[in-house]
Amino acid sequence: MDYKDKLVLLKQELKNMDRVMIAFSGGVDSTFLVKVSGDVLGKNAIAVTAKSFAFPERELREAVQFCRQEGISHLLIESEELDDPEFGKNPFNRCYLCKKQLFSKILGIAAEYGAKYIVEGSNADDLSDYRPGRQALEELGIQSPLLQAGLTKEEIRLLSKEYGLATWDKPSFACLSSRIPYGEEINEKKLKMIDLAEQYLHDLGFRQVRVRHHGDIARIEVSPQENTKIVQPNLAQKIYKTFADIGFTYTTLDLKGYRSGSMNEKINTNG
């Protein structure tokens, strides 16, 4: 099916839902979903963004700015995953625990606003990775209209560009908890360290960045095209010093470079 046919299908799905609440992270997929929902449903499209230590301030600002610019109703709520001791233990189903807590909360809010459906931005490519959070979405009856329309990440980027959305080429993002190896505690201190380190690299001009937290070691992943830049002696020393100030004793560069879900490689190896 052509991507434009998929867009027609997406619009029809949203129209049939009548009034929706959209889980909005400010990423490529959810931004596109908010835009199309607003175009189709007008005031019956309500975006909701969760504030969390695992959600960088820059992402929150961009989400707020986009909804204001598009005239989309936008709610900010507090995410409470760190209050769950099981989540803090960082098990393999961490994403399940987080999404179950978050979307249960959104369900209650949606009822107050008369939103018949809650939708989120999973796409067709997400089925190929380890995504325990999908189980929580299915249990709670959360809809994934981009996935249901068969839209891939590449198609969503293409459509976003056609819509004139600045996010069309925005690097992929995942919550900061995903930077901590499974089985190692997730806490506010670690998340703040990761946020500060990644923001510093973004400020230096690096686009696709992950800082993986391995105790006192920071493992940096950047795109292959940016590897030569980050190892320049003067810049490398600045990064090392800044990361030391943040709290990392050692700073390393992952020679394989950025890849989505690198922390899941351990699961695949053990499996």
Extents of the domains making up the chain = 3-166, 176-270
For the 3-166 domain, the top CATH level (class) is alpha beta
CA angle 71, 77, 82 (to 5 degrees): 145
Q: What 3-state class would DSSP assign to 235? A: helix
Helix residue spans in 21-132 (DSSP H): 28-41, 57-70, 85-88, 94-113
Q: What is the DSSP letter of 149?
A: T
Is 175 part of the annotated catalytic residue set?
A: yes
| CA nearest neighbour of 221 among 187, 174, 267 | 174
Per-residue pLDDT of the chain (271 residues; tens, 9 = 90+): 899 999 999 999 999 999 999 999 999 999 999 999 999 999 999 999 999 999 998 999 999 999 999 999 999 999 999 999 999 999 999 999 999 999 999 999 999 999 999 999 999 998 876 678 899 999 999 999 999 999 999 999 999 999 999 999 999 888 999 999 999 999 999 999 999 999 999 999 999 999 999 999 999 999 988 989 999 999 999 999 999 999 999 999 999 998 876 666 666 544 4
Backbone angles phi, psi at 30, to 5 degrees: -70, -30
pLDDT attached to residue 261: 65
pTM of the model: 0.91
Q: What 3-state class would DSSP assign to 87? A: helix
Q: How far is CA 233 from CA 86, 200, 222, 223, 238, in A?
A: 42, 17, 17, 18, 9
CA distance linking residue 106 with residue 112, whole number of Å: 10
Domain 176-270 fold is Alpha-Beta Plaits (3.30.70)
CB 23 within 8 A of CB 30: yes
CA 53 from centroid of its chain's CA atoms:
13
Q: Of the listed 67, 95, 98, 175, which one is catalytic? A: 175
Q: Residue 158, CB half-sphere, CA atoms under 13 Å: how many?
A: 10
pLDDT attached to residue 271: 46
